[in-house]
Amino acid sequence: MRSFRITLFAPAVFLFTTALLLCLPGRGGAITGHEVMERAKKSNQSKTQISDIHMLLIDKKGKEQERAVKIWALQGDTDKSLTRFTKPKKVAGVGFLVVSEKGKAKRWLFMPKSKKTRMIAEGDKNKPFMGTDFTYYDLSPHDLDNEAFDAVKSKTVDGHACYEVRGRSKTPETSLYGDVVKFVRKDNYVPIRVDFYDKSGKLLKRSNVLDLKKIEGNWTPTKIRMHNVQTNHKTVMSTTKVEYDMSIPDKTFTKTNLEKGR
């Protein structure tokens, strides 16, 4: 089971009915982390998403950079997403294409100034994406079967009753992170906070959903902040427009289209 994300991770964290107890209805035993994340995925049934995103990068001195991106995404047997920078001029046309099948993602980055496309090697997936606090890995679909979860706990976050789901990759040698802790609201299964720890056990990054709206029947985080607590750098992504279940041509998710740069 894949967990699809565009923003938050990548972002692309994702948009994730009611559960007030730590038990599944109609069966005994506590709900597991895997089950919570499966429900989070199923809480958004849209097949496609087209979004306009305003991005704000804030360094440790408070200096700000603004960027704008457009994202096309498709969920299915093969998950696909295309992220295109539209502003400012110096990064306009930069594109990032992800195609993921059976939990294995291929990633390409197009730089219009050099007119070159390069595949992001597996060893580079943990590097920052275009100066943001998201990595290439954060912006790609993930296979839940490749994650090991601890017993689920309960915690209140920003006034909301949440499941606390602590997990880690079953292949830690390929991951930037040690433990990743997701706080998933019990009433709608939306992850509203994610804590990323480095391999020494220190908090590395924290993402927070700052604004959440129900749009076209889908719970949509319309403002997300990713904070690298070790460098004190932040990325804030605000959704200015989103459309669900719109028709997206297959050619959108091709290298040919990626290299058009528009």
| Structure confidence by residue, pLDDT tens digits, 42-64 | 777 799 999 999 999 999 999 99
For the domain covering 2-242, report its CATH number: 2.50.20.10
Residue 260 Cα distances to 84, 113, 212, 254, angstroms:
10, 12, 33, 10
Lowest average pLDDT, out of 42-46, 71-75, 201-205, goes to 42-46
Q: Does the pLDDT value for residue 141 go beyond 80?
A: no
Q: pTM, whole model, 2 decimals? A: 0.86
Q: What is the pLDDT of residue 76?
A: 85
Q: Does the pLDDT value for residue 97 go beyond 60?
A: yes
CA distance linking residue 18 with residue 62, whole number of Å: 40
Mean residue pLDDT of the chain comes to 87
Angle at 157 between CA 151 and CA 158, to 5 degrees: 170
Lowest average pLDDT, out of 58-67, 121-130, 224-233, goes to 121-130
Classified as helix, coil or strand, 253 is helix
Neighbours of 262 (CB within 10 A): 9
